């Protein structure tokens, strides 16, 4: 464990980025953080290197991703169907089942060394959820958790019509995280009709736009959520804007 704590987190807005490109980008940063941690094992505490932290925001073109515990049959499209919907499909190394990413959805990938914050994956997941719950509260939505399920939900108390507004799935190794959350802001919800979202057959999916009855500025949501994350994790955010092409 690195005894030198680094609360600085470099924020990078990747814009609209192809899923595979973003995945490769994450993997590169993730590997760099792991490499520093391995180097530190052979160094005295007073000369150990600070491990970097990153927070990536982006949107993706239409894509379905299946986590390690997911079932391929939860994708209801064949190859021709994917082509017709101009969507791609990847099996990936996060936890969870199948989900959809697309334009109008705010995707967040925290690549954090939890030794800099707290070494508790359960707490990490709940803290991500809390940041999203508080952000949705800024728009007058009473969001929360459904017992036994990850992500953020509406009608989470009485559960007469519970509907997921944010999906989550993470990977962690040596207390370094990757993957993250996908918050439906102005998402085309019809694309969820071609999967069993997160393997859950009896609950709906929603978005900020669907709940409020009008589109919401993506930049505004991103700024609010970024601020909530910074407070809850006690981050010192430093912004780097990245221009990307797909």
In the block, residue with structure tokens 């993250």: 180
Residue 96 has pLDDT above 80, yes or no: no
The angle that helices 218-233 and 121-137 make with each other, rounded to 10 degrees, is: 140
Q: Which residues does the annotation mark as catalytic?
A: 198
How do residues 118-132 score in pLDDT, each as one tens digit?
999 999 999 999 999
| Per-range mean pLDDT, top range of 1-15, 56-70, 119-133 | 119-133
137 vs 148, more confident: 137
- Local structure of 74: helix, strand or coil: helix
Q: What is the mean pLDDT of residues 136-148?
A: 95
Tokens standing for residue 204: 């709906």
How do residues 213-222 score in pLDDT, each as one tens digit?
999 999 999 9
- Local structure of 61: helix, strand or coil: coil
Range list of H helices, the chain: 19-40, 79-84, 121-137, 208-212, 218-233
Cα distance between the two ends of the chain:
38
pLDDT of residue 245: 47
d(CA 99, CA 84): 18
Sequence spans of domains, the chain? 8-241
In terms of Cβ atoms closer than 10 Å to its own Cβ (0-12, 13-18, 19+), residue 227 is middle
pLDDT of residue 34: 97
d(CA 76, CA 62): 15
In the block, residue with structure tokens 């690195």: 2
Cβ contacts of 83 within 8 Å, gap of 6 or more: none
Q: What is the mean pLDDT of residues 146-173?
A: 92
The percentage of the chain sitting over the pLDDT mark of 90, rounded to a whole number, equals: 80
Q: What is the mean pLDDT of residues 101-111?
A: 98
Instruction: Provide the pLDDT confidence category of residue 246 given band limits of 50, 70 and 90.
Output: very low
Instruction: Provide the pLDDT confidence category of residue 104 given band limits of 50, 70 and 90.
Output: very high
User: What is the number of H-type helices and E-type strands within the chain?
Assistant: 5, 12
**CATH architecture of the domain covering 8-241:** 2-Layer Sandwich (3.30)
pLDDT of residue 124: 97
Q: Strand pairing of 176-184 and 204-205?
A: unpaired
Q: What is the mean pLDDT of residues 125-140?
A: 97
pLDDT of residue 150: 86
Tokens standing for residue 135: 């952000």
């Amino acid at each position: 464990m690195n005894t030198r704590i680094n609360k600085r987190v470099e924020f990078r807005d990747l814009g609209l980025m192809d899923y595979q490109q973003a995945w490769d980008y994450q993997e590169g940063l993730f590997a760099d953080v792991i490499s520093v941690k391995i180097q530190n094992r052979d160094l005295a505490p007073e000369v150990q290197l600070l491990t970097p932290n990153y927070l990536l925001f982006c949107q993706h073109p239409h894509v379905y991703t299946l986590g390690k515990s997911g079932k391929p049959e939860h994708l209801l499209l064949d190859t021709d169907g994917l082509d017709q919907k101009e969507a791609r499909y990847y099996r990936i190394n996060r936890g969870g089942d199948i989900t959809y990413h697309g334009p109008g959805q705010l995707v967040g990938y925290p690549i954090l060394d939890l030794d800099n914050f707290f070494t508790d994956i359960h707490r990490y997941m709940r803290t991500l959820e809390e940041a999203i719950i508080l952000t949705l509260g800024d728009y007058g939505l009473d969001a929360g958790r459904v017992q036994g399920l990850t992500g953020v939900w509406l009608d989470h108390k009485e559960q007469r019509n519970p509907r997921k507004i944010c999906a989550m799935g993470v990977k962690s190794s040596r207390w370094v995280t990757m993957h993250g959350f996908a918050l439906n802001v102005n998402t085309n919800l019809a694309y969820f009709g071609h999967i069993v979202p997160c393997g859950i057959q009896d609950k709906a999916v929603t978005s900020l736009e669907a709940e409020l009855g009008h589109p919401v500025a993506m930049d505004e949501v991103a700024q609010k959520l970024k601020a909530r994350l910074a407070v809850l994790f006690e981050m010192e955010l430093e912004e780097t804007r990245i221009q990307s092409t797909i």
